[in-house]
Amino acid sequence: MITRGFLTGVLLSILTLLGFYLSAAGRNERMMRAGLTSLMAVPPALASEGAVEPSEARSALIVDPLNQRLLNVAMVTHARTAREEEQGRWFTALARLGWRDTASRQNLLLQHAKHENIAAILDDIDGLLRRNRLIEQVSPALITLEGDLVGRRWVIERLRQRPAWRFGYLQRGSLIDDPVQLAARARTIRSLQQSGDDVADGEISPVLPKLIAAGLGEEALAIWRVREPSIKRPIADPNFAKLATERGSSAVPFHWQLTAAADYSVDATLEPAPHLSISWSGIGVPIFAAQTLSASAGRYGVILSTAEPDKVLPKMVTVRAVCGTDVVDFVHQKEVSATKVAYFPDRPLPCPFARLELVGRQVGLPSGEMQTAISGVSLIRLN
136-163 pLDDT, tens per residue? 777 887 888 888 888 889 899 999 999 9
Say if residues 18 and 103 touch (Cβ distance below 8 Å). no
Q: Residue 137 contacts by C-beta under 8 Å, 6 or more apart in sequence?
A: 16, 17, 20
What is the C-alpha end-to-end distance of the chain, expressed in Å? 46
- Can you give the pLDDT at residue 62? 64
Percent pLDDT > 90 in the chain is 49
Taking only the tens place, the pLDDT of each residue in 225-266 is 999 998 989 999 999 999 999 866 677 899 999 988 889 999
Q: Residue 254: exposed, middle, or buried by beta-carbon count in 10 A (0-12, 13-18, 19+)? A: buried
- CA dist 165 to 99, 130, 217, Å? 15, 6, 27
Domain boundaries, the chain: 18-133, 241-381
- Can you give the pLDDT at residue 380? 95
Say if residues 175 and 47 touch (Cβ distance below 8 Å). no
- Can you give the pLDDT at residue 44? 33
Residue 61 has pLDDT above 80, yes or no: no
Average pLDDT (369-380) is: 95
Cα–Cα distance for residue pair 186/165, rounded to 1 Å: 19
Q: What is the CATH number of domain 18-133?
A: 1.25.40
Fold classification of 241-381 (topology level): Jelly Rolls (2.60.120)
Taking only the tens place, the pLDDT of each residue in 324-351 is 999 999 999 999 999 999 999 989 999 9
Ranges 37-51, 91-105, 118-132: which has the least confidence: 37-51
Say if residues 94 and 62 touch (Cβ distance below 8 Å). no
